[in-house]
Amino acid sequence: MEALGELLSPARTRWDVPGTSKKAIFEEVAALVAADHPDLDPGDLIGKLLAREKLGSTGLGGGIAIPHCRLASCGEPLGALVSLREPADFDAPDDAPVDLLFVLLVPEEAHQEHLDILAAIARLFSQPALRSALRACDSDRALYDTVVGWEG
């Protein structure tokens, strides 16, 4: 997998994001991503993320979700990390609401790379100590620095 610092940027990391529904959260994420990557269409991104959720929940358990999709207009894999102001229902296997999301976007043709990155992110966020450290953050920068610098 690419280093997390190559997938994520401070501009695509947001603490205290409002939204209690998947659609509202994805609208916030799409605006965040489009502000950093104006070539990506927010409406297309929202539609793809919602369509992926209809196939099955991207909630992992432990308050984590990894919404992901492939986009034709996405030139390289990129991510967005958000912590939610209020946990939201993501139909996670443990029925716990989600408060931390890593959104993964990959180019349309990146099938195996998509799966490899997704698996690596799932392993990373399955660590309780990382989840606790992220939940203790109180700013965008602290959230970014914590996840990118994580070696646990």
Beta strand spans in 1-152 (E): 13-17, 59-61, 64-65, 68-71, 78-88, 98-107
Q: Please enumerate in sequence order all residues whose Cβ is within 8 A of that of 71, keeping only pairs 6 or more positions apart, or say none.
A: 40, 44, 45, 48, 105, 106, 107, 108
pLDDT of residue 1: 43
- What CATH number did the domain enclosing 107 receive? 3.40.930.10
pLDDT of residue 111: 64
- Joined together, the tokens standing for residue 74 give 């996405």
Known catalytic residues are: 68
DSSP 12-39: GEEEEE--SSHHHHHHHHHHHHHHH-TT
Q: Is 68 helix (H, G, I), strand (E, B) or coil?
A: strand
- The count of domains in the chain is 1
The pLDDT tens digits of the residues spanning 23-80 come to 999 999 999 999 999 999 999 999 999 999 999 989 999 999 999 998 888 878 999 9
Cβ–Cβ contacts within 10 Å for residue 100, how many?
A: 23
Full domain range(s) for residue 97: 4-148
What DSSP character marks residue 75?
A: -
Q: Could you tell me if 112 and 45 are in contact, meaning their C-beta atoms sit under 8 angstroms apart?
A: no
The pLDDT tens digits of the residues spanning 10-27 come to 999 999 999 889 999 999
